[in-house]
Homo-oligomer: A and B are copies of this chain.
């Protein structure tokens, strides 16, 4: 592969001049500039980023480490992140911790050694895990995404999960439902806990309290949600509406509804937070609160760019919480 010296030789100039032309970093007379560009063209030269990175100390790489790439929600995140990152001239390196702490550890080490210029992390586990990462001056800027870990030193972008739960539940309450159940995510995750808390808040506002038997964790997984829903819906005092905490579980719940011969929304109303890509056309259309995913990842990347350019940046973590949007389908009926 042609290197900068080859180009310099071909154009009869010094490597410095080639660099100046290629990076547009200093004035070069039109004549020379043309010769250089011609040489670049004919040799099909493109600067080797390993060398450039070594010299410049940055890599033009942004890492995205998600907790579970199998979950379509995170797939959508990858898609949005790729777009956001490449708009700033960066490339996206994708990692999947698969909810396993040891994987996450490996990934963090790898990101550091790749000298990624920044990273977006959907964290698993508790803040202690990131202590060392935080202290390490060589670590790239970090934005936590989606999940709260109770540590305000990092920048963080999240959905207002409590609001999501509250808003969705209020909608069900406004339709007249009183016996509202929920299939929640894991409560050790802020996404699971927050959405549940929002539901509880909304019901409490009306002086209601859910039947404990109607609040069950589906672990954010389709099959588990299915079996939990099967059981809940077969109870004699089954709820009239269910708030499901994510898209995969919403589908599992719908399946249970169908398998039991129940009709949605006539027999049971279903509302969720989040949905699945591509299923927009399914009937009944799901009533749900959604993440403004594009805006969220844009914000996360903006945080990173900010830290990257402002080395002297405040050490305090900034956090932005996005409100969910309530999108009406026809999976809920008045009670």
CB within 8 Å of B: which residues of A? 1-2, 44, 46-51, 53-54, 59-61, 69-70, 72, 75-76, 78-79, 82-83, 86, 91-96, 109-110, 112-115, 132, 136-138, 222-223, 226, 247-248, 251-252, 254-255, 258-259, 276-283
Greatest chain B CB density within 10 A among A59, A223, A259 is at A59
B75 touches A91 (CB 8 A): no
A46 touches B82 (CB 8 A): no
B91 touches A93 (CB 8 A): yes
Chain B residues within 8 Å of A277, by CB: 70, 72, 75, 276
Partner of A82, one of B95, B137, B248, B276: B95
Chain B residues within 8 Å of A254, by CB: 281-282
**Number of copies of this chain in the oligomer?**
2
Since A46-B113, A91-B110 are in contact, a sample of 11 more A-B pairs with Cβ atoms closer than 8 Å, ordered by chain A residue number, is A2-B138, A46-B109, A48-B115, A50-B115, A60-B114, A78-B94, A91-B93, A91-B95, A93-B93, A255-B282, A276-B276
Partner of A79, one of B69, B137, B138: B69
Q: Which residue of B lies closest to A77 (CB)?
A: B75
